[in-house]
Amino acid sequence: MKSYISKPARKIYGQFVPPGDKSISHRAIMLASLASGTSKIANFLKADDCLRTMDAFCAMGVSIVRERAGQVTIKGSGFNGLKSPSTPVDLGNSGTSMRLLLGILATQPFRVVLTGDASLSSRPMKRVTAPLRKMGAKISGKDDANYAPLEIEGGHLQGITHLNEPASAQVKSAILLAGLRASGKTIVREPNMSRDHTERMLEMVGAPIHRKGIEIEISRAERLCAIDYQVPGDISSAAFLMVAAALLPNSDLLIQKVGLNPTRIGILEVLSQMGAQIKWTMDATKNQIEPVGTVHIRGSQLRSIPIDGEMIPRLIDELPILMIACALARGKSIISGAKELRVKETDRIKSMVTGLNAIGGKAEEREDGCVIWGVERFSGGRVVSHGDHRTAMSFSIAGLNSKDPVTIEDIDCVGTSYPSFFDHLEMLSQK
């Protein structure tokens, strides 16, 4: 396993464009594969998770060609053109691939086995498999279809009304994708709004979807339209360098062409509330399905705030790096309502609290979050990523604000979402 030594830095300075959004890259491949006609996707994220989705559709007979940097051409199969793969589909570490594919495969008249690595096979899937079974899909697997490998046989589905609580974009997306071919209406309600990339892209490809507040309704579609689409930069990836710039005095960082979807900018709002010098502006691009813009951030002293409630679904992926920000902010920070972190690539509450304490931070676990007391800077030390890309990247940022270096063990996992992370970190860090 590779390791990375993160050394103290004076500031973060410069500008960069983050890689293509991982969530949107997954969905673009899926919907283009189901569309009628040829789609072109630009700025596709060439990370392992997204490539697993691409490989899954190739295994089901979809023609996908990777052209020049970041561009993919997909000849859609239509709803009825997918073929049964000859072997189980290995989705590696990608929970998004597995959960959303379950929704798509629930509509197909063949049997598929979905597998993954040890981490993915330990993540619960029943929040997806239970409503899909209710719609009429046949799904089996360990612990009553709660863990992979999962065998799914699709067929005739009936629309349902589902309460998505706690709000999860992956659960919602799987049900909506199944609803594309179900009889009657499929309705998903949420207590608060999770990220809405699936709804936006379904509208873009012509699906009969209607949104009213936190309720989404979809009806059976006969065809989807091919698309030409540019994936915006990933705000969740950009968040690591945002926090790095916010924490180091004299930093000045400009992030360009980054997605600013309202359901994803919780990280910007929380950093602003913590006292960060941060501004964001939208690009004036007409007919843009996803808002894109620029984020400008300078170094400042942060202060602690509570992070809880309706904010959590809007920054669930950013909580690990926000824990680094909290650990160097003035005062005591409390994160609650984030129990979902325990069933990510690793138990992120445990991995982050353990890691913070190992490098001179002060943190305490709670069932659904943690308490973090701010320190002036970290002392340095060694942490383990546990195969979690966001844990690895978060502690790479921690080392910039440390008396002595921080060594992060097992960094290969970063390739699942941000293969160019260490290059960008070295380019922007001034020692």
Catalytic residues: 317
Find the distance separating the first CA and the last CA of the chain, reported in whole Å.
Answer: 26
CA torsion 369→375→381→385, rounded to 10°? 20
- Is 230 buried (19+), middle (13-18) or exposed (0-12) by CB count in 10 A? buried
CB-CB neighbours of 1 under 10 Å: 10
CA nearest to 19, candidates 368, 267, 259:
259
Radius of gyration of the chain (CA): 21
Q: How far is CA 306 from CA 65, 181, 271, in A?
A: 46, 42, 12
Asked if the peptide bond before residue 291 counts as cis, ω within 30 degrees of 0, the response is no
CA nearest to 114, candidates 143, 136, 92, 83:
92
How far apart CA 253 and CA 241 sit, in angstroms, is 8
How far apart CA 74 and CA 239 sit, in angstroms, is 30
How far apart CA 429 and CA 431 sit, in angstroms, is 6
**377: left (phi > 0), else alpha (psi -120 to 50), else beta?**
beta
CB-CB neighbours of 149 under 10 Å: 17
φ, ψ (nearest 5 deg) of residue 292: -130, 150
CB-CB neighbours of 158 under 10 Å: 12
